[in-house]
Amino acid sequence: MGFGLYFRVCDFSLPLPGRLASATERAIGRRFTAQWIHSLMSGTANSRLATDGRPSLSVVIPMYRELENVEPLVARVHQGLAHYPGDWELICVDDGSRDGTGERLREVAARSGKHVRVIRLRRNFGQTAAMQAGFDVARGELIATLDGDLQNDPADIPRMVEELLQRDLDLLQGWRRRRQDALLLRKLPSRIANALIGRVTGVALHDYGCSLKVYRAEVIKEVTLLGEMHRFIPVWVASVTAPERVGETEVGHQARQFGTSKYGISRTFRVLLDLLAAFFFLRFGSRPGHFFGSIGILFGLVGGLMMTHLLWVKFWLDQDIGSRPLLFVSILFLVASVQFLTTGVLAELLMRTFYASGEHTHHRIRWQSDPRAAGWRRPE
């Protein structure tokens, strides 16, 4: 039997038997091939269950200019996870701090053990990039995130893991019901933003801004975080899994003890822009032609009605229309309609090329039988 396709995995090619005809099959084959090679190279899978069945856990903490919080934060994580029944690791990501945070993290990690890992970014890329760097190297079946300012309580993580498993969720979002922040600058804008995000996206949560979350690694690693998407992680997760598999639970929150907050009222405007992007990709990510086409058809109808009225005035009433502003407005609407329609067609072509490349599919598979073990039903 010949080999129909080769997959590039870990800098070498592995042939898969048979011919995988569709992009979906190619994506499935790559996933199982990568998992098989990974287990061969490591002897055992990195994401493994403890002896009592509890999943392994990776705790990811992005930090930026948090020098004074490093030692107490690592100590509190160890204290909070002291009785966690599964294997766990701590991944601290220094987002290009210039105050010595990275050096302090390396010192604390050297004293703590090999389960504490440090990633230092070359410059300040932002919280989203720091979280993505942590997700990329996380080995646990579950991933927990929290801020590096000591306002989140790591002791909530074991309870959140238990709740996520019991409720069979893919993401459990923390809710700072008794938030210890200034009302005008932090709490009030946050409440308005949460209500607006829930209304627009359909994923209703009380506290999108809380960094204390627990994810299933297989789900969050299907989401590529860019820009400042960390504010809308539940929305992006809901785009690859069912929205009802995203839940929330109350968590503790404490006032900041060391350092200063990196956020202010100015981020409200960035949130609005990010919300527009999230709404577009969530509703029209796989069919952008519907978005641009709808606007183009609307503009075309308005322009067409205006032009019809002007034609009636010109040929029925025998009046001059050359100097009327309505003529220029109707032409503008018709030109804009053509532009939006052609933009929609181009967007559809780009999206189809993107999915036809075989690297991505619009749908997400939660679980399936191993295609390498599949067989045929032979006629008797």
Same domain, residue pair 271 and 258: yes
Residue 17 reports pLDDT greater than 80: no
What sign does the dihedral 222-228-229-233 (CA atoms) show?
A: positive
The helix-helix angle for 267-284 and 188-201 (nearest 10°) equals: 10
Asked if residue 119 is part of any domain, the answer here is yes
- Tallying the residues shown for the chain, one arrives at 380
**Residue 117: in which H helix or E strand, if any?**
strand 116-120
- Check if the beta carbon of residue 23 is closer than 8 Å to that of residue 356: yes
Specify the amino acid at residue 156. Answer: D
Same domain, residue pair 178 and 123: yes
Asked if residue 167 is part of any domain, the answer here is yes
- pLDDT tens digits for range 70-89: 999 999 999 999 999 999 99
The pLDDT confidence band at residue 57, using thresholds 50, 70 and 90, is: very high
Asked if residue 221 is part of any domain, the answer here is yes
Spatial separation of the C-alpha atoms in residues 241 and 246, rounded to whole Å: 8
- Check if the beta carbon of residue 133 is closer than 8 Å to that of residue 60: no
Asked if residue 374 is part of any domain, the answer here is no
- Check if the beta carbon of residue 214 is closer than 8 Å to that of residue 143: yes
Return the higher-pLDDT residue of 174 and 276.
Answer: 174
In this predicted structure, what is the pLDDT of residue 92?
Answer: 94
3-state SS class at 84: coil
- pLDDT tens digits for range 232-269: 888 888 888 888 899 999 998 777 777 666 555 556 67
Asked if residue 378 is part of any domain, the answer here is no
Residue 374 reports pLDDT greater than 50: yes
3-state SS class at 67: helix
Same domain, residue pair 255 and 274: yes
- pLDDT tens digits for range 278-327: 778 777 877 888 999 999 999 999 999 999 999 999 888 888 888 889 99
Same domain, residue pair 18 and 64: no
- Check if the beta carbon of residue 117 is closer than 8 Å to that of residue 88: no
Spatial separation of the C-alpha atoms in residues 233 and 134, rounded to whole Å: 15
In this predicted structure, what is the pLDDT of residue 19?
Answer: 38
- pLDDT tens digits for range 179-189: 766 556 566 66
The pLDDT confidence band at residue 21, using thresholds 50, 70 and 90, is: very low
Residue 366 reports pLDDT greater than 70: no
Same domain, residue pair 179 and 231: yes
Same domain, residue pair 198 and 70: yes
The pLDDT confidence band at residue 275, using thresholds 50, 70 and 90, is: confident
Q: Is 240 exposed, middle or buried (0-12, 13-18, 19+ CB in 10 A)?
A: middle
Same domain, residue pair 325 and 190: no
Same domain, residue pair 95 and 206: yes
- pLDDT tens digits for range 140-168: 999 999 998 888 899 999 999 999 999 99
In this predicted structure, what is the pLDDT of residue 361?
Answer: 56
Query: From the CB of residue 97, how many other CB atoms can be counted at a distance below 10 Å?
Result: 21
- Check if the beta carbon of residue 69 is closer than 8 Å to that of residue 92: no
Mean pLDDT of the chain: 79
Asked if residue 362 is part of any domain, the answer here is no
The residue assigned the tokens 């804009």 is 336
In this predicted structure, what is the pLDDT of residue 201?
Answer: 72
Same domain, residue pair 34 and 67: no
In this predicted structure, what is the pLDDT of residue 260?
Answer: 66
The helix-helix angle for 101-112 and 70-80 (nearest 10°) equals: 40
- What is 218-234 written as a DSSP string? HHHTTS---TTGGGGHH
Give the total number of structural domains in the chain: 3
3-state SS class at 81: coil
Asked if residue 376 is part of any domain, the answer here is no
- pLDDT tens digits for range 187-232: 666 777 767 777 777 787 888 878 899 999 999 998 888 877 888 8
Q: Which residue range forms the structural domain that includes residue 30?
A: 3-42
In the numeric block, which tokens belong to residue 71? 């030692």
Asked if residue 368 is part of any domain, the answer here is no
Which of 283, 314, 334 corresponds to the end of one domain? Answer: 283
Same domain, residue pair 81 and 133: yes
Same domain, residue pair 335 and 254: no
Question: Percentage of the chain with pLDDT > 90?
Answer: 41
Task: Supply the CATH number for residue 242's domain.
Answer: 3.90.550.10
Query: What is the average per-residue pLDDT within 173-177?
Result: 87
Is this model's pTM higher than 0.85 or not?
A: no
In this predicted structure, what is the pLDDT of residue 339?
Answer: 96
Query: What is the average per-residue pLDDT within 96-113?
Result: 92
Same domain, residue pair 314 and 270: no
Which of 253, 283, 313 corresponds to the end of one domain? Answer: 283
Query: What is the average per-residue pLDDT within 332-347?
Result: 95
For the ranges 38-42, 167-171, 218-222, 274-278, the lowest mean pLDDT is seen at 38-42
